[in-house]
């Protein structure tokens, strides 16, 4: 990526130096909102940014440094604390510190927080605590919008439930039914599923919800964006109304609010950060560029990248992602594409190579803007301007995670100026423009 100091070759300002006026300070304290019938909980203060040695820690350990209280303060059992300690967690993130005690009390809950704040652990920890020691039967269902998020939530549950004897399975499309059917019929404690595939199993009576105690709607806004409302309604209709329901979302559009009113009973609301606010640890800027020069600008920036830079590129379409990968290959850069036309095996292999650092470039559609918990992404590049401001927030949230800094670049052609201005209005701040001679459409 471009150097941290002004480039003598291009004369461009350094993206890392280009923090727009009015950007939030890195140590902003989270805010907490409650419903009128609820009792406000104190919001934990946020520590200063981690010490330099934090770069060597795992993502879980880095997130654990963002809160002053410990998991032992949340009322968890010794077995649960031992599992968290083995996973590298001692301190909760702000959303975890607020949500876990409420969920342990059996309250319905709405958790609103930006991506990368630890929402997954905020509901998996109290579910594991609640289910420990019971007979094996389906007692919790977690609905997610994508296969990748299913896998991430399952991994989180396995990490925190070590030694508890709880069984978990992820159920999603794109793979065969046999293994899922066998596991469901043998009995599992927790099902993590995409709505469509779960309905298939329900219709075939591979699973019943007679003993279900907890329902989680994860990334609720994204599920509704993807058109899953009818499937969610069909699933919830088969669940006892006196369950505990936990809804987590990065944004709160009217559709999500309507869903919450329909399925949650007097929910406690916890909120961390402003709903449409860009992460404070991300330095973001816009590169004005003609549409036909976007590919060349991408290669130009990559030539200035450090050897350890890990870059996630977002395109608007599947064909666009494939086209960028081919162009990068012609320029001598190895890259993988991640989109819905890839098989599950291909997607898993691409993610595994990117996580391991074997591939430094991943080109993806919005399938990757949420749910991917990958530490170490140094740059996010919006090859196309996102059409929704919320998508912009989620995309750039793939970097700058767990108090680490990151850069987000957006390529803006002339007919995308209005979209960028809409994003700026929603996030409440101006995004700096970086002009690269020979690429700016104004030159």
Q: Where are the domains of the chain?
A: 15-22+277-433, 52-272
For 214, the 3-state DSSP assignment is strand
Report the mean per-residue pLDDT for the chain.
79
Give the model confidence (pLDDT) of 211-242 as tens digits: 899 999 998 888 887 889 999 999 999 998 88
68 pLDDT higher than 60: yes
Residue 227's pLDDT is what?
A: 85
When comparing pLDDT for 88 and 24, which is higher? 88
Tokens of 116: 């990368």
Residue 169's pLDDT is what?
A: 93
Cα separation of 44 and 66, whole Å?
9
Reported pTM: 0.59
For 155, half-sphere exposure in the C-beta direction (CA atoms, 13 angstrom radius) is 11
Does residue 411 contact residue 258 with C-beta atoms inside 8 Å?
no
Give the model confidence (pLDDT) of 132-187 as tens digits: 876 778 899 999 998 888 998 999 999 888 878 889 999 998 888 889 999 898 88
Give the model confidence (pLDDT) of 358-374 as tens digits: 889 999 887 655 556 66
For 130, the 3-state DSSP assignment is helix
Give the model confidence (pLDDT) of 159-169 as tens digits: 888 878 889 99
CATH number of this structure's domain 52-272 = 3.40.50.300
Give the model confidence (pLDDT) of 241-276 as tens digits: 889 999 998 777 778 888 888 999 989 998 876 545
Give the model confidence (pLDDT) of 273-315 as tens digits: 654 555 566 788 999 999 999 999 999 999 887 777 889 999 9
Q: Helix, strand, coil: what percent of the chain each, to 5?
A: 40, 15, 45
Summarize the confidence of residues 9-29 as an average pLDDT. Answer: 33
Who's near 302: CB < 8 A, 6+ residues apart?
1, 311, 328, 331, 333, 361
For 169, half-sphere exposure in the C-beta direction (CA atoms, 13 angstrom radius) is 23
Does residue 270 contact residue 394 with C-beta atoms inside 8 Å?
no
Residue 14's pLDDT is what?
A: 37
Summarize the confidence of residues 18-35 as an average pLDDT. Answer: 33
Cα separation of 118 and 254, whole Å?
24
Identical fold at 15-22+277-433 and 52-272? Answer: yes
Please name the residue ranges forming H helices in 187-313.
195-203, 220-225, 229-236, 254-263, 294-303
Say which CATH superfamily domain 15-22+277-433 falls into: P-loop containing nucleotide triphosphate hydrolases (3.40.50.300)
Does residue 74 contact residue 104 with C-beta atoms inside 8 Å?
yes
User: Residue 62's closest CA among 73, 76, 72, 51?
Assistant: 51
Summarize the confidence of residues 81-102 as an average pLDDT. Answer: 88
């Amino acid at each position: 990526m471009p150097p941290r100091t002004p480039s003598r070759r291009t004369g461009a300002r350094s993206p890392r130096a280009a923090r727009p006026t009015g950007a939030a300070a890195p140590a902003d304290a989270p805010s907490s909102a409650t419903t009128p019938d609820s009792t406000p909980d104190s919001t934990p203060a946020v520590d200063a940014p981690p010490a330099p040695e934090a770069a060597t820690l795992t993502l879980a350990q880095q997130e654990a440094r963002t809160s002053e209280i410990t998991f032992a303060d949340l009322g968890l059992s010794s077995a649960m604390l031992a599992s968290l300690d083995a996973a590298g967690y001692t301190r909760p993130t702000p959303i975890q510190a607020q949500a876990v005690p409420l969920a342990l009390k059996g309250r319905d809950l709405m958790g609103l927080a930006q991506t990368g704040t630890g929402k997954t652990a905020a509901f998996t920890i109290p579910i594991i605590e609640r289910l420990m020691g019971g007979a094996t039967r389906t007692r919790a269902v977690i609905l997610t919008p994508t296969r990748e998020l299913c896998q991430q939530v399952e991994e989180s549950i396995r990490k925190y439930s070590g030694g508890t004897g709880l069984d978990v399975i992820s159920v999603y499309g794109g793979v065969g039914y046999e293994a899922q059917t066998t596991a469901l019929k043998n009995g599992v404690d927790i099902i993590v599923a995409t709505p469509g595939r779960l309905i298939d199993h329900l219709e075939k009576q591979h699973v019943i919800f007679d003993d279900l105690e907890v329902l989680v709607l994860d990334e609720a806004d994204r599920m509704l964006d993807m058109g899953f409302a009818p499937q969610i309604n069909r699933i919830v209709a088969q669940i006892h109304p006196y369950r505990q329901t936990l809804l987590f979302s990065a944004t709160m559009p009217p559709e999500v609010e309507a869903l919450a009113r329909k399925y949650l009973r007097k929910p406690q609301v916890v909120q961390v950060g402003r709903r449409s606010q860009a992460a404070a640890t991300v330095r973001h800027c816009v590169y004005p560029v003609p549409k036909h020069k976007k590919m060349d600008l991408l290669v130009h920036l990559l030539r200035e990248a450090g050897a350890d830079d890990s870059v996630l590129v977002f395109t608007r379409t599947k064909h666009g992602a494939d086209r960028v990968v081919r162009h990068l290959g012609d320029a001598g850069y190895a890259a993988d594409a991640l989109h819905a036309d890839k098989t599950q095996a291909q997607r898993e292999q691409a993610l595994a190579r990117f996580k391991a650092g074997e591939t430094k470039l991943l080109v993806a559609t919005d399938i990757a803007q949420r749910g991917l918990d990958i530490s170490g992404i140094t740059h996010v590049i919006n090859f196309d301007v996102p059409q929704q401001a919320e998508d912009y927030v989620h995309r750039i949230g793939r970097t700058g995670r767990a108090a680490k800094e990151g850069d987000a670049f957006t390529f803006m052609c002339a007919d995308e100026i209005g979209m960028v201005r809409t994003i700026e209005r929603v996030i409440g701040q101006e995004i700096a423009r970086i002009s690269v001679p020979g690429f700016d459409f104004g030159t």
